Amino acid sequence: MYRNFKPVMILFLSTILLWSCQDDLELKPEDNRETSATVFDNPDSYREFTAKLYAGLSLSGQQGPSGNADLQGLDEGFSNYMRLFFKLQELTTDEAVIGWNDGTIKDLHSQTWTSGNEFIRTMYSRLLYQIALTNEFLRQTTDAKLDGRGVSGDLKSEIAEYRAEARFLRALSYYHAMDLFGNPPFVTEEDPIGAFLPPQIKRADLFSYIEGELLAIESTIVPARQNEYGRADQAAVWMLLSKLYLNAEVYTGQGRYTDVITYTTKVIQAGYSIPDVPYQYLFLADNDTNGAQEEVIFPITFDGLNTQAYGGMTFMIHASIGGSMDPADFGVSSGWAGLRTTQQFVDLFPGGAESEDKRAIFYTDGQKKEIDNISVFTDGYAVAKFKNVDINGEQGSDSTGEFPDTDFPMFRLADAYLMYAEAVLRGGGGSTGQAVTYINELKERAYGDSSGNITASDLTLDFIINERGRELYWEAQRRTDLIRFNLFTENGVWAFKGGVPQGTTTASFRNIMPIPASDLV
């Protein structure tokens, strides 16, 4: 009996020895995830990490359209950067209303939000998340880290470009955070990753930081129009500087209009053009190839098969379709029946929806111009500006009609023209004649001829704010513009502003969005 048992005993004892000798508590991921110590062994990682920084603007996670979210405490579709940025910049103004009943969404248009507003809170989370992502990229690509990994030559210079773009993207998000929240928390690559409460930064100090960052990368980022489509270049830096300076008075009390002239001029002379194609081409599925891209300085790219999200362009196109609109005309499978515009905005176009100005792309069939009830889709004209069809009316690449190919033009030449003209009027120097020429280039595209052209005497600040509305509506510019013209709160009235049908003014503290209470101590 003992003889039989002996091998068993030996077997067990050796198993124990084997198991205890192993360092079994040092476990690393075994699936497609990698640790920071090994992930950069693959030189493509730098490019892929950079792609994630851009994806921060267009996507909501690592699986399209949803399923592996960046932010876990929120509904994934709602947490998309572009979707939230659009809502905060447009729904709060005369340009857009939404009929949905999601939580506090209607408080945005009525300007009655509190710091508990989930859309404001989520935008705040998303902005700081994007900043944290870029910080991590910069931490992982310092000279010391790269040297330690033996990175040199072409890869090292490629990474230098990525670093400049990461700093641009961080400056862009800090610009949005400064514009929306005033004094947001401030974290850079110098801070650790952990669980601490980052200190807030004063708006004017953040202004200087963003300016310093942009000036520092101006000469290291890829020259204007030399980078791959979808990636930021020097002109994007100049464009952001122009916007920063144009609104400097709001942020710091100090106008910087001469700098606006300087930097918009750099953009304008960089070789972009207002192409000889209809205005609508800028907002179609093939807007990266149909000619309109000649004007685009920095797009947020989407693709029906490769770049899918329930935010961004998917939201903007689906949500603007309802009533008698046929989704097929927009290259999508369904309407989400939410977004329309106010009667006041329609009236910015001479002749309203029937304007000679071709930029007035409204859907009016079955729609009532005046809004009596925000919740009813047919109250208020629908906006048919963004579509997922190409110039021939063909649907984009996603056969299910769910996810559009249409790219969002974040920065484009027309905006630089308008900023130049505004800076001239605000005493930044430059040339009035040149400004009028630029404006008329936009007018001629809008009217198809010179019938809408202006003269020097028409060029006033009132004209500029209205023209910015006509040219750039639904491009997430409006709130910032109205604040600069002091028309967002104490002045300026449109349907349901202040929560009343005819609209009323609101208190000026609403020029800044509240930071969530849980992040304020």
Partner 1 sequence: MNFNHTDQQGVLKKDFYERNALNLTLTQNFLDNDLKLTLNSKGILDENSFADQGAIGAAVAFDPTQSVFDPTSPFDGFFEFRGGDTTDDEFRQATRNPLALLLQRDNNAKNKRNISNLNVDYRFSFLPELRFNLNAGFDYAELSGYETRPITSAANNQSVRFENFYEGINRNTLLDFYFNYKNDLDAIDTKLDLTAGHSYQEFFINSKSRTTQNNSLVANPVSINRNSLESYFARASFDISNRYLISASYRRDGSSRFSEDNRWSSFPSVSIGWKIMNESFMENSNVFSNLKLRAGYGITGNQEIGPNYGYLGIYTPSQRGANVQFGNTFVNTLRPEEFDENLKWEELKTTNVGLDFGIFNNRFSGSVDAYYRETKDLLATVPVPAGANLSDLLTTNVGETVSRGIEVGLDAAIIQREDFNWNVNYNISFQDLEITALSLGNDPNFFIPQGGIGGGVGNNIQIWKEGFDPTTFFVYRQVYNNEGQPIEGAYVDVNGDNQITEADRQAYKKATPDYFMGLTNTINYKNLDFSFTFRGNFGNYVYNNTQSGNGFVGAGTVTPQAYYANLNANVLESNFEAAQLFSDYYIRSADFVRLDNVSLGYLFPGDVVDVRASLTGTNLFVITDYEGLDPEIGNGIDNNFYPRTRNVVLGLNLSF
Tell which positions 270-309 bind partner 1, by CB under 8 A. 288, 301, 303, 305-308
| 45-74: contacts with partner 1 (CB under 8 A) | 45, 47-49, 51-52, 54-55, 58-59, 61-65, 67-68, 70-74
| 235-264: contacts with partner 1 (CB under 8 A) | none
Contact between 118 and partner 1 per CB under 8 A: yes
Contact between 32 and partner 1 per CB under 8 A: yes
Question: Which one of residues 7, 21, 41, 101 is an interface residue with partner 1 (CB under 8 A)?
Answer: 101
Contact between 26 and partner 1 per CB under 8 A: yes
Segment contacting partner 1 by CB under 8 A, of 229-237, 413-421, 446-454, 456-464 = 229-237
Question: Of 68 and 142, which CB lies nearer to partner 1 in the complex structure?
Answer: 68
Residue 449 burial (C-beta neighbours within 10 Å; 0-12, 13-18, 19+): exposed
Contact between 142 and partner 1 per CB under 8 A: no
Q: DSSP class of residue 142?
A: S
Exposure string for 419-435, b = 16+ CB within 10 A, e = fewer: bbbbbbbbebebeeebb
**Number of residues assigned to the chain:** 521
**Which pair of structure tokens corresponds to residue 399?**
């056969």
Question: Of 169 and 442, which CB lies nearer to partner 1 in the complex structure?
Answer: 169
Question: Which one of residues 83, 87, 109, 121 is an interface residue with partner 1 (CB under 8 A)?
Answer: 121
| Site mask for partner 1 (CB under 8 A), range 347-386, x = bound | ----------------------------x-x---------
**Which pair of structure tokens corresponds to residue 467?**
């023209």
Least CB distance to partner 1 at residue 335 (A): 8
- The whole-angstrom separation of Cα 205 and Cα 487 is 25
Contact between 508 and partner 1 per CB under 8 A: no
Question: Of 254 and 509, which CB lies nearer to partner 1 in the complex structure?
Answer: 509
Contact between 329 and partner 1 per CB under 8 A: no
**Which pair of structure tokens corresponds to residue 92?**
């709060």
Contact between 12 and partner 1 per CB under 8 A: yes
Question: Which one of residues 82, 88, 91, 132 is an interface residue with partner 1 (CB under 8 A)?
Answer: 132
Q: Angle at Cα 429 formed by Cα 487 and Cα 223, nearest 5°?
A: 95
Question: Of 79 and 480, which CB lies nearer to partner 1 in the complex structure?
Answer: 79
Segment contacting partner 1 by CB under 8 A, of 189-197, 232-240, 242-250, 467-475 = 189-197
Question: Which one of residues 80, 93, 110, 122 is an interface residue with partner 1 (CB under 8 A)?
Answer: 122
Question: Which one of residues 93, 96, 99, 111 is an interface residue with partner 1 (CB under 8 A)?
Answer: 99
| 435-474: contacts with partner 1 (CB under 8 A) | none
Question: Of 22 and 450, which CB lies nearer to partner 1 in the complex structure?
Answer: 22
Contact between 224 and partner 1 per CB under 8 A: no
- HSE-CB for 500 with a 13 A CA cutoff: 7
3-state SS string for 260-324: HHHHHHHHHCCCCCCCCCCHHHHHCCCCCCCCHHHCEEEEECCECCCECCCCHHHHHHHHCCCCC
Residue 239 burial (C-beta neighbours within 10 Å; 0-12, 13-18, 19+): buried
Residue 60 burial (C-beta neighbours within 10 Å; 0-12, 13-18, 19+): buried
Question: Of 291 and 352, which CB lies nearer to partner 1 in the complex structure?
Answer: 291
Contact between 518 and partner 1 per CB under 8 A: yes
Contact between 103 and partner 1 per CB under 8 A: yes
Q: How far is CA 452 from CA 358, 432, 467, in A?
A: 11, 18, 12
Cβ neighbours for 252, distance < 8 A, ≥ 6 positions apart:
203, 204, 207
Q: Are 395 and 300 in contact (CB under 8 A)?
A: no
Please work out the total of residues on this chain that contact partner 1, with binding judged by CB under 8 A: 112
- Respond yes or no on whether the N-terminal peptide bond of residue 223 is cis (omega within 30° of 0): no
Least CB distance to partner 1 at residue 236 (A): 14
Q: Are 439 and 319 in contact (CB under 8 A)?
A: no
Question: Which one of residues 81, 238, 336, 411 is an interface residue with partner 1 (CB under 8 A)?
Answer: 336
Question: Of 89 and 301, which CB lies nearer to partner 1 in the complex structure?
Answer: 301
Segment contacting partner 1 by CB under 8 A, of 98-106, 253-261, 264-272, 422-430 = 98-106
Question: Of 128 and 435, which CB lies nearer to partner 1 in the complex structure?
Answer: 128
Question: Of 317 and 482, which CB lies nearer to partner 1 in the complex structure?
Answer: 317
Contact between 185 and partner 1 per CB under 8 A: yes
The DSSP string of 195-212 is: S--PPB--HHHHHHHHHH
Phi, psi of 290 (to 5 degrees): -85, 10
Question: Which one of residues 82, 91, 96, 128 is an interface residue with partner 1 (CB under 8 A)?
Answer: 128
- The whole-angstrom separation of Cα 121 and Cα 65 is 22
Q: Are 296 and 412 in contact (CB under 8 A)?
A: yes
User: Position of tokens 């935010």?
Assistant: 311
Question: Of 98 and 261, which CB lies nearer to partner 1 in the complex structure?
Answer: 98
DSSP alpha helix (H) spans, 362-514: 413-425, 432-447, 461-472, 478-484
Question: Of 57 and 268, which CB lies nearer to partner 1 in the complex structure?
Answer: 57
